[in-house]
Structure 1
Amino acid sequence: MKPINSNPKRSEEPIWWSLFGAGGSWFAMLTPVTVLLVGILVPLGIIDASTLSYERMQGVAAGWLGKAVIAGSIILPLWHAMHRIHHGIHDLGVNAGLAGKVVCYGFAALVSVVTLGLLVL
């Protein structure tokens, strides 16, 4: 039996896994509600279409809560997807190493910063 390493190497994986989990949870919770509202209830006439009019949604998106929901809806699922792609490439036998992390997580970080920048303007 191996002795327990009392000085283990630090890993950044918990950061990526937490973003992966947050993105998956966000997507799993909000996507069905969005599909129900926009894809079923409005076309069936159960909810009036003017409730989701452009002007009304623009007003919602202008507030801090609307901006937070928009940011979360773009950023968190993106981190989820890029983490899944990074590990999917590894599962296919491609050893991308540090370059794979930089491309996947760098892209997610770049889009996150651009999204937040556009929402603040």
Structure 2
Amino acid sequence: MVNLHPKRSDEPVWWSLFGAGGTWFAMITPVTVLVLGILVPLGVISPEAMTYDRAADFATSFIGALFVIATLSLPMWHAMHRVHHGMHDLKIHAGVVGKVVCYALAFLITALSIIFVFMI
């Protein structure tokens, strides 16, 4: 017998944020670390190109604000989804409370990153 009213799952939302966060963390974060953490300190990229005023101008532009928010929030969604499912794999069945805590923490980081970007 076919269930004519199946329960809708919220997993596609979390999986899409998980996928976006994993992709961002794998492709964008290493380049950001390379540029800001290695090339600028070694002098390959001029330190004048990374002054506070230029960084603040970038972070307050539309594209820069999106970049900063995505850099902070997407990997957090990825990590919290991994934590949520990792607890299940470790036989720690936190149920709905664990799911709410994990995703609320990711949402908090997202909200704070938006607030901080607009406060600059």
Superposition TM-score tier, normalisation by shorter sequence: 0.7 to 0.9
The match for 1:108 is 106
Shift of 1:31: 1.4
1:55 to 27, 31, 53: 53
Q: Which moved more, 1:81-90 or 1:50-59?
A: 50-59
Alpha-carbon RMSD across the aligned residues, in angstroms, is 1.7
Can you list the C-alpha shifts for 1:32-57, whole angstroms capped at 9, x where unaligned?
11122123322332211111122211
Instruction: Give the letter for the 2:27 counterpart.
Output: M
The match for 2:27 is 29
2:97 to 71, 93, 99: 99
The match for 1:77 is 75
The match for 2:6 is 8
Number of positions where the alignment pairs a residue of Structure 1 with one of Structure 2? 119
> For the residues of structure 2 that align with 1:118 and 1:35, how far apart are their CA atoms?
21
Identical columns (%) = 52
1:64 to 41, 62, 65: 62
Question: TM-score when scaled to structure 2?
Answer: 0.88
The match for 1:87 is 85
**Secondary structure class of the residue paired with 1:47:** coil
> For the residues of structure 2 that align with 1:29 and 1:22, how far apart are their CA atoms?
11
Shift of 1:95: 0.6
Residue 116 of structure 2 is aligned to residue 118 of structure 1: yes
Question: TM-score when scaled to structure 1?
Answer: 0.87
> For the residues of structure 1 that align with 2:106 and 2:117, how far apart are their CA atoms?
16
> For the residues of structure 1 that align with 2:116 and 2:41, how far apart are their CA atoms?
31
> For the residues of structure 2 that align with 1:40 and 1:71, how far apart are their CA atoms?
22
